[in-house]
Structure 1
């Protein structure tokens, strides 16, 4: 093989690796909340000289979440909205509380994978692979167990114990976002036309209308 061809192949491979990774930050931090016109990942940076320790901290994850709601769970998110110093760092955190039989309904995080560890109780967790397999991968976790939910796949948790359960989750985005399937499908604003949902879910339109009224 000619040396020029070998060199060209190496060059293409090098560019491929370079383009496949995220760029590293070019500053120590970019604390969200500045009033300038220069945006980094959608948020303006504060003047570094005005940054305080409070920009990098959050208090309250020791507090029990209020699970007295229809699904019996509460997510206490700690993302860039709560800690401005998370801006550009690509991580966030959450505490999850579950009443007995409480669920964190099927949902996705469009911008993040998630790693969850159980602090108290027993959780049934799972996610569904993409089309066409739509395979459910599920497991019952006990205290100290860890489970990973890949980015953008539909996943859920359910408290299968007789007492309250608590978990902590780390996510690979400063603002992972959440799309709760039932809310998005039956609670959109304005409504998705009921004839579309009736055909998609093979339901009578009256059932669809009833579901939409709940969300």
Structure 2
């Protein structure tokens, strides 16, 4: 993947380089479809475990992914419901940071709406680790920590490390998966975002975003 990123930086007009900027490149995922894209930084970052991602001046790759994937974006995901995700170190295939831009399991949006109405989703990052929910993915019910944010103007990696992973827990960033589900009301996105995290330390937890995202 890093070779692909470098190629697009050098040849930004090539058809396989869907959007090339100074900070990131958007590529097709595999298999190629209208709902399977990847956003990868133009600098060398292995993945979610890299401390560099928590620096205050790091690019906001989650916001960049949404700007591309949303309806009317540079590389819009052709799905009624859109999801963004990153896998843990153990679940990923490539050691170059990449955010999946894909569809999301259709019932996920309604499940999250219902959980929010029941006040079962954190509205403050400081309480993120305390709000555990079950969501139905492609392999059954999985446990996620659920947070609602009013925008993506936050460093999600830093929030995850500070409020979920850091001591006194024995968890590490390398084992985490992170998923963003833009909130939708009717046909329109509201500007709010459900942020989901899981890892295998949770009962029925998972270290991959693939169970909630739909690529084909």
| Shorter-chain TM-score above 0.5 | no
Question: What is the TM-score with the length of structure 1 in the denominator?
Answer: 0.28
The structure whose Rg is larger is 1
Bigger relative contact order, structure 1 or 2 (CA pairs below 8 A, ≥6 apart): 2
Q: TM-score, normalised by structure 2?
A: 0.28
